[in-house]
Structure 1
Amino acid sequence: MLLYVDAQYASPYAMSVFVGLKEKNISFDMQTLDLGAGANHMPDYAVTSLTQRVPTLIEGDFSLSESSAITEYLDEIHAGVALYPAAPKAKARARQIQAWLRSDLLPIRQERSTEVLFYRPSDAPLSIAAGQAAQKLFDAADRLLAPGREHLFDTWCIADVDLALMLNRLVLNGDAVPVRLADYAKRQWERASVQAWVNLARPPL
């Protein structure tokens, strides 16, 4: 398999797929694209990636983009660590969490970009809009994470990575985060597959 990712290894969506491949113990190669230079819109890649985005996974003559579609595909065709819960309602909830984190909370993503996670923190305070988005994140995460539970569900799943990443945009920047949620995010960040992505050698910005 070949996985296309961004040149800075900073895409949260590429990270999610990378972690999924590592958890499944699937052998794969990576190729980077300079998104700032528009490499994802070049004709060759546009033919390869339907959405012209990263990540895109290539397997023989099959290509698939959009991270949650890729991790669902990997879970269906490969044995090993499950990326999603088996129970239908729990699996639906995990998909809901992924879709929500990818489509909402824009002020957090704008003011606490993934540069905070992989390069340097921001010294700008959160705007009112970002503060409101953060509170919405905390309220939802608090409801989702049962007291005393280490993961969203009975065992780890890929949605834990996505939720921890969103929380860590704030935690690793030094912003105020409820202790229980900060501890959860830090635990998820210590997972070996996550650390494999965190510790990739990144080019300077």
Structure 2
Amino acid sequence: MTALLHLHVDAQFASPYALSVFVALHEKGLAFELSSVDLAARENRAAGFSRLSLTRRVPTLVHGDFALSESSAITEYLDELFPGTPLYPSAPRDRARARQLQAWLRSDLMPIRVERSTEVLFYGPTQAPLSEAARSAAATLFEVIETLLPTDAEHLFGAWSVADLDAALMLNRLRLNGDAVPPRLAAYAAAQWQRPSVQRWVRMERPPL
């Protein structure tokens, strides 16, 4: 029987945005089919996928006759539509702050994203040192997460949310590469990375680069 939900992700299973939606589906306990799109071969520009995905990007989630791309739009859609583990905080201000954090992590910190790509997470570390710009971006990242993470807390907003995944992923770009991360943040990122839904993605069999 065909699953009602169908998730399209990158062929390397390395996209942080695909990871976010994959984890959200597992946290909600939803059955879904998974397909990979070879971005290097421009399969996302092929007629079939470009007709399906408005922005021609992964992840794209198909729900019946509705297709949606952009990871934060997808996770908000899933949270509004399905029961199960909440993906966002229930308090309006915390929910707004979580969405703010997601938007910032996706739009800023470019030196970290370039110099510590997600290949570091899934294919192994790089020996290249961080540039001054990346070190500055890391200092900003640490300051923001330190401000949001309460003392002795496991999560940013009381219970787990998808914002914890996104924050931990950015920290893990550094931590898993052996770059210096403040101990409290390193412990937080390590704990988030061991969440079963995250480990399902981490353990995916990947093609060589």
TM-score normalised by length of structure 1? 0.99
Give the alignment partner of residue 42 of structure 2, picking from 38, 41, 52: 38
RMSD after superposition: 0.5
1:181 equivalent to 2:194? Answer no
1:7 equivalent to 2:25? Answer no
Q: Which runs of 5 or more structure 1 residues have no equivalent in the other structure? A: none
Amino acid in structure 2 at the alignment position of 1:163: A
Give the alignment partner of residue 143 of structure 1, picking from 134, 147, 151: 147
1:100 equivalent to 2:120? Answer no
Alpha-carbon shift at residue 42 of structure 1 (Å) = 1.1
Give the alignment partner of residue 77 of structure 1, picking from 78, 81, 87: 81
Amino acid in structure 1 at the alignment position of 2:20: S
1:4 alignment partner, SS class: strand
Amino acid in structure 2 at the alignment position of 1:60: G
Q: Which runs of 5 or more structure 2 residues have no equivalent in the other structure? A: none
Deviations 1:16-54 (A, max 9, x none): 000000000000011000101111111211110011100
Alpha-carbon shift at residue 155 of structure 1 (Å) = 0.3
Alpha-carbon shift at residue 78 of structure 1 (Å) = 0.6
Quick one: distance in 2 between partners of 1:175 and 1:73? Answer: 35
1:58 equivalent to 2:50? Answer no
1:20 equivalent to 2:24? Answer yes
Deviations 1:153-178 (A, max 9, x none): 11000000000000000000000000
Residue 201 of structure 1 aligns with which residue? 205
Quick one: distance in 1 between partners of 2:44 and 2:139? Answer: 34
Quick one: distance in 1 between partners of 2:177 and 2:77? Answer: 33
Amino acid in structure 2 at the alignment position of 1:13: Y
Quick one: distance in 2 between partners of 1:85 and 1:149? Answer: 15
Alpha-carbon shift at residue 103 of structure 1 (Å) = 0.4
Alpha-carbon shift at residue 96 of structure 1 (Å) = 0.4
Give the alignment partner of residue 125 of structure 2, picking from 117, 121, 124: 121
Quick one: distance in 2 between partners of 1:110 and 1:195? Answer: 24
Residue 161 of structure 2 aligns with which residue? 157
Q: Quote the sequence identity (%).
A: 63
